[in-house]
A and B are shown apart, each in its own frame.
Chain A
Amino acid sequence: PIDGSMGGDASCVDEILKEMTQVWPPPLTAIHTPCKTEPSKFPFSTSKDAQHLSFGA
C-alpha cells in the first residue's frame, strides 16, 4: 500500500508504523488427542501382583 520510493518524510514513517505494528494474538496451540474412554493404565499396574488380576478372562 505504501510506495517504496518515498523519501524519509515523517508521515510515511507514521503510515508504515501504523501498518506494520498490528498486534497479533498468540499462536493457536495444537489440538490434543481426545481422552480415552478409559484410563490406559491402572495406578497399581506396576505392582508385581498385577499378574494376579484377572479381567474377566
Chain B
Amino acid sequence: VHSTELPVSAKPDYIAKYTAVISMDQRQLYKDDFNAEYDEYRILHARVESIARRFTQLDTKCRKLAPGTKEYKEVHVQVLQEYKNIKQHSPNYYEEKQRCEYLHNKLAHIKRLIADFDKRKAQSWL
C-alpha cells in the first residue's frame, strides 16, 4: 500500500496535496486555499522583512566603521538592544520566521500550479 510513497523525505506536505490543476473547479479550490492563508502570509512577511531590513542597515553601518571606535561600539550596543527588544516583544519571532518561509513556499507552489494551468488553457485557445 505504501509502495507509491516516497521514502521518508523532507518533502513538505503541500507538494503531495497540491498537484497539477486540470479543471476550473480545482483552480478555484486552490485559489481559495491560497487566499485563506494569504493575509497571514502578508502580515508575517512584512514583519519579518522589516526586521531583516533594520538589521541589514545596522550590519552595513557596522562594516563601514573601524572596530574599536566609539561609533562601532555604539552600533554594536544598538544591535544588542534591538535584538533584545525583539526577543521581548516577539518571543515567537523564530517560529514566525519559519512559518513565513513555509507559507511563502506553499503559496508559491499553489500559485505556480494555477499559473501553469492558465498558461495551458490560454494555449489551447489559440
Contact = CB atoms under 8 A, between A and B. Distances in A.
Given A21-B52, A27-B42, A31-B34, A1 B94 contact: yes
Contact of B80 (A16, A24, A25): A16
Given A31-B31, A31-B34, A21 B59 contact: yes
Contacts of A28: 38, 41, 104, 107-108, 111
Given A25-B104, A28-B41, A34-B27, A20 B55 contact: yes
Contact of B24 (A2, A8, A34): A34
Interface string B90-126: 0000100100000010011001001000100110000
SS class of chain A's interface: helix, strand, loop or mixed?
Answer: loop
Interface string A21-37: 11111011011001100
B19 interface: no
A20 B49 CA distance: 10
Size bracket of the B interface: 35 or more
A42 to B, nearest CB: 18
Interface residues of A, number: 22
B22 interface: no
28 contacts: A2-B83, A6-B80, A8-B76, A8-B80, A10-B67, A12-B80, A13-B62, A13-B80, A16-B55, A16-B79, A16-B80, A17-B58, A17-B59, A17-B79, A20-B55, A21-B52, A22-B52, A24-B48, A24-B52, A25-B104, A27-B104, A28-B104, A28-B111, A31-B31, A31-B34, A31-B114, A35-B118, A35-B122
Interface of A: 1-2, 4, 6, 8, 10, 12-13, 16-17, 20-25, 27-28, 30-31, 34-35
